[in-house]
Amino acid sequence: MKYAGKMERFLSRGREEELVCVSVKMSRAMYAQLVQQAFQAPKCYPMPNRSEDRAACMEAELGMKIGCGMEMMYQQRRKEGLEGKGSSWEAFKESLEGSGYFEGLIPGSKEYQRLMQNAEEYY
């Protein structure tokens, strides 16, 4: 929850961030769970006034919940050092090692790190 309070990645400009409407496909059960989940909006999130437009407020609240979930997942992966790397990354890295991409270099050496950075950029 602490990551959702900051919204560093998905709401970096805070209240100045432009909100746009998009369709998000989900099951009825997922939608019901999302609607029923009680969740306080982060201070930086630009929530519309509840009394003015109930529909806009509901849309913003659903978007806020999805955005906070994305932020929490992103920050957790970043903390674990897995940002942008799924299970296929390990398979990709192993295939590089198996094909001799690292040319017997010692892990941690400058040349190894340069090749690893190239591989990460390509991936």
Top-confidence range, 26-30, 69-73, 97-101, 107-111: 26-30
Q: Give the pLDDT score at 29.
A: 96
Tell how far CA 81 is from the center of its chain: 13
73 vs 49, residue with greater confidence: 73
Supply the pTM of this predicted model. Answer: 0.55
The whole-angstrom separation of Cα 14 and Cα 42 is 10
113 vs 86, residue with greater confidence: 113
**Per-residue CA distances from 122 to 8, 92, 96, 103, 118 (Å):** 26, 10, 12, 18, 6
Beta strands in the chain (DSSP E): none
28's tokens: 């009825």
Q: What is the mean pLDDT of residues 54-74?
A: 84
Give the residue from 120, 102, 99 showing the smallest Cα distance to 112: 102
